[in-house]
Amino acid sequence: MTSTGNPRPGAFIDRDGVINEERAYVHRVEDFVLLPNAIAGLRALADAGFALVVVTNQAGVAHGYYDEAAVRTLHEHLQDLLAHEGLHLDTIRYCPHHPLGATPAYRQACECRKPAPGMVLDAARALGLDLAASVMIGDKLSDVQAGRAAGVGLNILVRSGHALRDGDAQQADAVCDDLLDAARCIATRSNIGS
């Protein structure tokens, strides 16, 4: 954990496939299912002094499958589930855009959609986080790329969501089974979160 007066490290965590089951365009509370080790992984990261930050692409908004109100409702539900476990996400950032979206207002290439670093940088500024001491945990190469572009110190892929494509694992600093395994891996890196 960082000492008093130093910026806190952040754990930037993708949502679908890392915290909850990967299902096509999860946007309804009844379809939201936490992965088995998600709570334990979040708790381990929080106990290690990391700010918990969710960064998630939500292209379903751009494609017209659901609206931003549905995203906010689902994130409120996630915070409620975590509150029952004594946990709280410091912030949730989502990108509703997609360059090929069906909804004109959201059809754009932007700096917030991973692999761009916008969500990470925005959250880090808002919370005063130390990016070099931070971690990115995701299930796709775009998560690693966003973390690297933002200057995040450790970028991890997990196997609990999308199947890793050939070459993806080599671009990550580590590959772990799930969020809890990633938290354990981070704990062994003395220069991260300390």
Catalytic residue ranges: 14, 16
Task: List, edge to edge, every strand of the sheet that includes 174-176.
Answer: 91-95, 51-57, 8-13, 129-138, 154-158, 174-176
Q: Which residues of 35-59 are buried (b: 16+ CB within 10 A; e: fewer)?
A: bebbbebbbbbbebebbbbbbbbbb
- How many angstroms separate the CA atoms of 9 and 51, rounded? 6
Q: Which of 100, 73, 84, 71 is nearest to 42 (CA)?
A: 84
- How many angstroms separate the CA atoms of 69 and 67, rounded? 5
Residue 21 to residues 101, 139, 162, Cα–Cα distance (Å)? 24, 11, 10
The type of residue at 185 is C
Tokens of 192: 């991260």
